[in-house]
Structures are given as structure tokens and as C-alpha cells.
Amino acid sequence: MKATAKANANIALIKYWGKRDEALILPYNSSISMTCDAMETITTVEFSENYDTDTAIINDEELSSDQKRVYDHIGMIRKMAGIKEKAKIVSESNFPLAAGLASSASGFAALTVAAVAAAGLKLPEKELSIIARQGSGSACRSILGGFVEWKKGSKSSDSYAEQIAGKDYWKDFRMIATIVKEGRKAISSRSGMSQTVKNSPYYSGWLSSIEEDLNRMREAIRSRDFASAGSIAEYNALKMHCTMMTSKPPIMYWKPATVEIMNAVMAWREDLESYFTMDAGPNVKVMCMKKDEKELCQRLSELEGVVKTISCAPGSGAALSQKHLFD
Ligand code: PMV
């Protein structure tokens, strides 16, 4: 059986950083994100007796068998469905991969929804979120649209994402992914967070201040308070990066262009209200309201190190599509 799904990337306003269970991907802290309408992955999965092995083609490149995560994920879903057929997977994203732009979030969310349907299962959002989480933690948030919280839970069955507000609740919120010259990240978020948990002296400070950030962010979203949401998100991202920089050896995702954008956003704030956040890569995401979107994109694109901006409004959750990527 064949099925296709689309999923948007999501960018965290309150970050997930650190796993308490690396195999099940259970986080030390809950996180809150916005699902982003302009960054999308489409994935088709077919289980068939015609295939001798699992194969995956991601943006026109075949994954080798040692890129295990995708194949492990398919294996898990195959087992749940009690089927034996091998799978062909074809996936395309409309934005750069492995650059701290949440490509694994949209990737594993689309893969989960497509593979579950192709395996003949019908599951509620909660279960899809739990499955997606085991491919890539942040993927559990891309199952839902709008503003989303991944509750850390106490075990696998209660660690999943729930919607705080739908995509139409705060339509004017914009997340502008700002792509810098330097390409793929040097160290994966997976190994970056594992190292930070092990040896940054500031990781405990990260954890002890997270509940307050989460409470304040939920409240800022509910009351559509942009100054609050932007400033809490910015400070939260800086705290996360400080734990990375103080791990041994230090992890530094920032490039000169990253710092250039951060400084510019702070300087512009006098006449154009915007805030930044960064993930495990050099690109910066800049938040603003719709009324400032054009001007902000213009100013960002004039900066030396900026290659491209992708402007996102709150987007939809993952969904099945009838348009398959192969016959
Ligand atoms: O789900 P992963 O392994 O791609 O980790 C994502 C980690 C951050 O992007 C840095 C933070 C987050 O909450 O998305």
C-alpha cells in the first residue's frame, strides 16, 4: 500500500535541549514551537512485496543503509502494523536540510504519517506524535499546526505534542528563517545535546529556569502578546546556546553572519520590533508581526552574510495528500 503525507517544519520558541532517554527520545524539558507554513516536506511511502530491501531517496539522493534513523523508523512502524513488506520512501523538502532549520522535524513527521497510513494503520494525532518523536524529538511537534507544546511526560506514552492555539489564532505572527552563507552544521543536534547534558556546568541552570519560560510563553501566546513572546523566545535561545558553548569541547554553531543578524535585530528594535532565535546551526530565525514583515525581510537581505529569507506564518499540522511522489 502507498501513502503520501505533507508536514511543515516547526521552530521552537522554548527549546528542547537534552534527552533523559536517548533510545526513546524522552526530553529533560517540555518545549513550545510554531509550525511554519512555508517550510514543507512531502514524503511517499510504499510497502510492497516487489521490494527486496528498504530504500529511501531524500531530495534526489539515496540514503545508504548506515543512515539508520529512517530505516529504523520504518522498521518500527512495520512491526506495529504486523506486516513484512519492504518499503520504498521518496521525500522532498523545499528548504535546506541539516542546517538547523528543523528539517528532521518535518521529515520525520511526514514519514510517520505516510508510513502509518501505507502500513494500513489509522492512529490518532497523539499516537502519531509519539511515533514521530522516536525518529527525531522535534518531529512530534510538527504533527500539529499553529502553536504547539511537547509535554516531556513521565514515560513514552505521555510524552507527545498538543496544540496550544490553532494556526488562525495568531495569524499575524511571522517567523523569518534567515539563511546564511555557511551551509550544513558541523555537529548534529543529537550529539550536541548529549555532550551538553554530560558536561556543561550551566545545564542545571537551563533546566531550573525552563518552567518559568514555558509558563510565560503559554500565556504570551494565549494573549497574543508579541513583545513578551519574542523576548522570552530570544532569551531562551541564548540560554540554550550558552549551555552548548560551555560544554567540553565547546559547541559553537554561530558563524560571523549569525552574530551580524543578532546584532542587527537588536539595533533595529528601536523602530522595528523583532526578536531572534537560533537552533543547532548557523541560521537565524527572526520573529516579527505581519505589518513589519516586508521591511524586515528587506533589511535582512541587505546584510552581508545573508543568502535568503523564508518568511513563515503559523502553518497546518501534518496531513495525508493524494499526490504521490512516484507511481
Ligand atoms: O529533534 P532534533 O534532534 O532535531 O533537535 C532539535 C533541537 C533544537 O532544534 C535545537 C531545539 C528544538 O526544540 O527544536
Q: From first to last of its 327 residues, what are the pLDDT tens digits of the chain?
A: 999 999 999 999 999 999 999 999 999 999 999 999 999 999 999 999 999 999 999 999 998 776 789 999 999 999 999 999 999 999 999 886 655 566 789 999 999 999 999 999 999 999 999 999 999 999 999 999 999 999 999 999 999 999 999 999 999 999 999 999 876 667 888 899 999 999 999 999 999 999 999 999 999 999 999 999 999 999 999 999 999 999 999 999 999 999 999 999 999 999 999 999 999 999 999 999 999 999 999 999 999 999 999 999 999 999 999 999 999
Going from the C-alpha of 36 to that of each of 40, 55, 269, 315, the distances in angstroms are 8, 28, 23, 5
What would the pLDDT profile of 158-200 be if each residue is shown by its tens digit?
A: 999 999 999 999 999 999 999 998 766 678 888 999 999 999 9
Q: Are 251 and 202 a contacting pair, CB within 8 Å?
A: no
**Cα-to-centroid distance, 280 and ligand 1 (Å):** 7
Q: Largest Cα–Cα distance in the chain?
A: 62
Q: Enter the C-alpha cell of residue 90.
A: 521518496
Whether the model clears a pTM of 0.85, i.e. scores above it, the answer is: yes
Q: Enter the C-alpha cell of residue 28.
A: 529533560
Q: 89 pairs with which residues across the strands?
A: 45, 56
The answer for 84, left when phi > 0, alpha when psi is -120 to 50, beta otherwise, is: alpha
**Which ligand 1 atom is the nearest neighbour of the CA of 14?**
13
Q: 289 pairs with which residues across the strands?
A: 173
Pocket (CB within 6 angstroms of ligand 1) = 12, 15-16, 31, 104, 136-138, 189-190, 279-280
CA distance 143 to 323: 19
Secondary structure (3-state) at 119: coil
**Cα-to-centroid distance, 297 and ligand 1 (Å):** 24
From 17, 21, 33, the mutation candidate for ligand 1 (largest count of ligand atoms within 8 A of CB) is 17
